[in-house]
Amino acid sequence: MSQPSAPAPARGALIAGIACYTLWGVLPLYLRAVAQAGASPLEIIAHRAAWSAPWAGALVLLAGQRRQVAQVFATPRTLGLLTLSALLIAGNWGLFVWAVANGHIMESSLGYYINPLLNMAMGAVLFRERLDLFGKTAIGLAAAGVLVQGVALGHPPMISLALAFSFGFYGLIRKQVAAEAQTGLFVECLVLLVPAVGYIAWLQTHGAGHFFASPGMTALLAFAGPATVVPLALFAWAARRLPLSTVGFLQFIGPTMQFIIGAEGGERLTPVMVASFSLIWLGVLVFVTGAWRASRRVEWREA
For 38-85, the DSSP string reads T--HHHHHHHHHHHHHHHHHHHHHHHT-HHHHHHHHT-HHHHHHHHHH
Question: Would you call 170 helix, strand, or coil by DSSP?
Answer: helix
Alpha-carbon span 152 to 101, nearest angstrom: 21
pLDDT above 50: residue 6: no
Q: Would you tell me how many other CB atoms lie within 10 Å of the CB of residue 103?
A: 14
Mean pLDDT, residues 297-301: 58
Mean pLDDT, residues 57-85: 92
Task: Name the CA dihedral angle for 5, 8, 13, 16, rounded to a multiple of 10 degrees.
Answer: 110
3 domain residue, yes or no: no
Of 296, 269, 285, residue with least CA distance to 117: 285
- If phi over 0 gives left and psi between -120 and 50 gives alpha, with beta otherwise, what is residue 38? left
Of 28, 20, 55, 40, residue with least CA distance to 222: 55
Q: pLDDT tens digits, residue range 142-183? A: 888 888 877 777 778 889 889 989 988 888 888 888 888 889
277 domain residue, yes or no: yes
4 domain residue, yes or no: no
2 domain residue, yes or no: no
Report pLDDT for 198. 96
280 domain residue, yes or no: yes
1 domain residue, yes or no: no
* Top-confidence range, 80-89, 266-275, 282-291: 80-89
- The pLDDT > 90 percentage for the chain reads 40
Report pLDDT for 280. 82
Side-chain half-sphere exposure of 159, counting CA atoms within 13 A: 19
Low-confidence winner among 82-86, 206-210, 231-235 (lowest mean pLDDT): 231-235
Q: pLDDT tens digits, residue range 76-95? A: 999 999 999 999 999 999 99
Report pLDDT for 251. 79
Mean pLDDT, rounded, of the chain: 85
77 domain residue, yes or no: yes
6 domain residue, yes or no: no
Residues 189, 104 contacting (CB under 8 angstroms): no
Cα distances (angstroms) measured from residue 35 to each of 57, 97, 154: 27, 9, 27
pLDDT above 50: residue 290: yes
pLDDT above 90: residue 301: no
Task: Name the CA dihedral angle for 121, 244, 177, 238, rounded to a multiple of 10 degrees.
Answer: 140
pLDDT above 50: residue 231: yes
Cβ-based burial of 234 (10 A; exposed 0-12, middle 13-18, buried ≥19): buried
Report pLDDT for 32. 93
Mean pLDDT, residues 281-295: 78
pLDDT tier for residue 1 given thresholds of 50, 70 and 90: very low
Number of domains in the chain: 1
Alpha-carbon span 268 to 94, nearest angstrom: 22
Alpha-carbon span 185 to 165, nearest angstrom: 19
- Look up the domain containing 34 and give its range: 11-302
Q: pLDDT tens digits, residue range 181-191? A: 889 889 999 99
pLDDT above 60: residue 8: no
Tell me the whole-structure pTM to 2 decimals.
0.83
